Amino acid sequence: MIKRNGLVTTVIIIITVILQTTIFNRFSFHNVKPDFVLIIIILISNYSGSIKGQLTGFVSGLIEDFLSLSPFGFSALIKSVIGYLSGKTEGQIFFDPIVVPIIFVFAGTIIKSLLSFLLLLVFSPAKADAVFSITLLIEAGMNIILTPFIYYILKLIKVLPSSNSSRIS
Amino acid sequence: MTELRKTVTKYKSILLLVLLIVISLFLMGYSSGKYNFLPKKIGNSIFSLLQITVDSTSNFLTDTVDSVGELKKLRSEHGILLEKILEYQIRDRDYIEVKQENIRLKKQLDFKISSEYIFKSAEIIAQEPGNIFKTIVINRGTADGIKNNMPVIAYQHGYQGLVGKIIETSPLTSKILPIFDNTSYIAARLLETRYEGLINGSGSKNDLLLMNYVTKNAFESLRDGDLVVTSGMQSIYPHGLYIGRIRGIYSPEWKTSLILKIEPVIDFSRIEYVLVLTGEK
C-alpha cells in the first residue's frame, strides 16, 4: 500500500504544468509538445480510482487553463473526463510497465482530441480544424514514447506502487 | 432519505463527473471571449510567478554550464571586437552626418518624419501547455506598463519583425497572441507595390501566413520575396512594421482577390527576446 494524498498529487501536477510551459517547451518536435500532464493523470487515476482520477484531472486542467489562452474550464473538463475513464479501470486492468500504459495513454490522447474538437466547435470554431492534424499523431507518438519513463519516475518517487500487482484501495 | 443517500453513494463517481462537467461548461460559457476573466487573471498571476522562477533557474543553470566553455571563446573574440569598435566609431561619425542630412532632405520634401517608438524589452519565459492554442508568455506585465493590444516586435536578421500583440496581462507577465495564430488578423500592405490586404495566421509556427483581399490587378506586379508591412489601417499596429515576404501567389478563379502566402520575417522557433511597443515618442 502506498501513502499518497491529494497534496502530493497536486504538487506533482503543479510542477508538471509549470515545467510543461517552460523547460519542456525545449523538447518539442516540429513545434509539437507531449502532454506530460495527461500521462500523469492517466497513470495516477488507474491506481487511485475514478473519484480521485477526475478530481486530479479537474485540478490539473484548471491550472493549465490559468496559463492558457483556452476558454477557462476547457482543459478542466477534458482532463476530468479522462481521469474518470482511466480511474474506472482501477483494479480491473493490471499495469505492466510498458504495453498497457502505452495503450491507455494513446487512447487518452485520442479522447482528449475528440473532446477538444467538440468543445472548440462550440467555443472557438476557428481552432477546431487544428485538432485532427499531423500534430495529433506527433503528440500521440511523443506521449507513448514518454509513458514508460514517466511510469518509472512515478514509481521511483512512490506515487505509483512499486509492485505491479499492488493497488491502492 | 436513506434511499437517496444510497443512490448518491452508489453513483457518486458519475455524479461528481457530471458536476465537474457542469462547472467546466459554466466557466467556459462565462469566460469565453473574455481575456480578462477575473478568476483566470488571479490564477494566472499566481502561477506565472512559478513560471518566472523556473525559467530563471533554468537559465541560470544553462548559463553557468555554458559560461565555462564560452570564456575561452570570449577571450579570442575580445581582441577582434576591440578592432571593430574603432571601425564603428569612425562609421558612427559618418552615420550621424548622413542622418542629419536625411532629416534635412525629408523636411525639404515635406515628408512626415517617422516617429520612434517607446518600447519595453522582454524575455520569453513560457508558452502554451498544449498544442492547440498558441500564446507566448513574456516576463513583463502591468507593473511595467504593459497593456492589452500593445504591438510586439522582435529583431532578427537585421529586420524588426512583427511578433503579435498583447492579449492578457498580469502584474509580472503578459501573453502575446502571435501573428501565426489563426485568430490573428493584421491589415497589411506590400512595401513596394503598396497593394493592401489582410493577413491571417495559419495556426502553426511552421506554416506560412495567408494574405487575402489583394486585388487581382496586382498579380503581374508581385514577385516572390516582396516584403509585406503593417498598413497602419488598424489602430493596434502602427504602419511600416515588417511582417514577412511573399512565398506564393495564387489567383483562384472562384475568388475575386489574390491569395498570397507569406513567410514571417521572424523565425518563431528561435525567438527569445521581444520588444513591446508601449507608445510613441
Nearest-CA distance B220 → chain A (Å): 32
Residue A165 in domain = no
Nearest CA in chain B to A61: B24
Number of domains in chain A: 1
Residue A127 in domain = yes
Q: Which residues of A touch B43 (CB under 8 A)?
A: 62-63, 65-66
* Contact A21/B at CB under 8 A: yes
CA distance A61 to A37: 9
* Contact A23/B at CB under 8 A: yes
Which pLDDT belongs to residue A95? Answer: 66
Report whether pLDDT(B239) > 50.
yes
Nearest-CA distance A85 → chain B (Å): 10
**pLDDT, chain B, mean:** 83
* Contact A121/B at CB under 8 A: no
**Domain parsing of chain B, residue ranges:** 2-31, 116-281
Lowest mean pLDDT among A87-96, B42-51, B245-254: A87-96
Residue-wise over B5-27: b if at least 16 C-beta within 10 A, else e?
Answer: eeeeeeeebeebbeebbebbbeb
Which pLDDT belongs to residue B210? Answer: 92
CA distance A139 to B244: 29
Which residues, at least 6 apart from B5, have a Cβ–Cβ distance to it below 8 Å? none
Q: Which residues of A touch B126 (CB under 8 A)?
A: 21-22, 25, 67
User: What proportion of chain B, given as a percentage, has pLDDT over 70?
Assistant: 93
Give CA separation, A58 vs A72, A84, A94, B18, B117, in Å.
Answer: 12, 10, 24, 12, 44
Tell me which residue of B120, B121, B122, B124 sits closest to B59, measured CA to CA: B124
> Which CATH number fits the domain that encloses residue A105?
1.10.1760.20
- The predicted model gives A112-125 an average pLDDT of 90
- Cβ contact (<8 Å) for A30 and B269? no
Which pLDDT belongs to residue B234? Answer: 65
Which pLDDT belongs to residue A85? Answer: 93
Q: Which residues of A touch B54 (CB under 8 A)?
A: 18-19, 22-23
- Cβ contact (<8 Å) for B44 and A72? no
- Cβ contact (<8 Å) for B135 and A69? yes
Lowest mean pLDDT among A113-122, A123-132, B30-39, B204-213: B30-39
Q: Do residues A76 and A56 make contact, with C-beta atoms less than 8 angstroms apart?
A: no
Which DSSP symbol is given to A92?
Answer: T
**Helix or strand or coil: residue A44?**
helix
Report whether pLDDT(A137) > 80.
yes
Residue A88 in domain = yes
Smallest Cβ distance to B32: which of A14, A63, A123?
A123
Lowest mean pLDDT among A76-85, B125-134, B166-175: B125-134
Three-state SS annotation for chain B: CHHHHHHHHHCHHHHHHHHHHHHHHHHHHHHCCCCCCHHHHHHHHHHHHHHHHHHHHHHHHHHHHHHHHHHHHHHHHHHHHHHHHHHHHHHHHHHHHHHHHHHHHHHHCCCCCCCCEEEEEEEEEEECCCCCCCCEEECCCHHHCCCCCCEEEEEECCEEEEEEEEEEECCCCEEEEECCCCCCEEEEEECCCCCEEEEECCCCCCCCEEEEEEEHHHHHHCCCCCEEEECCCCCCCCCCCEEEEEEEEECCCCCCEEEEEEEECCCCCCCCEEEEEEEEC
Q: How many angstroms from the chain centroid is the CA of residue B203? A: 13
DSSP A130-162: TTSSHHHHHHHHHHHHHHHHHHHHHHHTTSS-S
- Cβ contact (<8 Å) for A123 and B204? no
- Cβ contact (<8 Å) for A135 and B131? yes
Which pLDDT belongs to residue B138? Answer: 93
Report whether pLDDT(B235) > 80.
no
Which residues, at least 6 apart from B79, have a Cβ–Cβ distance to it below 8 Å? none
Report whether pLDDT(B31) > 80.
no
**Reported confidence tier of residue A166, pLDDT bands at 50, 70, 90:** very low
Which pLDDT belongs to residue B36? Answer: 64
Domain containing A30 equals 6-156
Nearest-CA distance B10 → chain A (Å): 12
- Cβ contact (<8 Å) for A126 and B183? yes
Query: What angle in degrees, to the nearest 10, is found between the helix axes of A36-48 and A6-21?
Result: 160
Which pLDDT belongs to residue A102? Answer: 92
Which pLDDT belongs to residue B35? Answer: 60
Nearest-CA distance A21 → chain B (Å): 5
Nearest-CA distance B258 → chain A (Å): 22
Q: Which of residues 52-81 of A touch B (CB under 8 A)?
A: 54-55, 58, 61-77, 80-81
Residue A124 in domain = yes
**Reported confidence tier of residue A167, pLDDT bands at 50, 70, 90:** very low
For residue range B152-200, what is the model confidence (pLDDT) as tens digits?
A: 999 887 778 899 999 988 888 999 999 998 888 999 999 888 888 999 9
**pLDDT, chain A, mean:** 85
Domain B116-281: CATH architecture, name and number where available: Beta Barrel (2.40)
Smallest Cβ distance to A21: which of B20, B126, B167?
B126
- Cβ contact (<8 Å) for B131 and A139? yes
Between B225 and B206, residue with greater pLDDT: B225
Between A16 and B256, residue with greater pLDDT: A16
Which pLDDT belongs to residue B2? Answer: 76
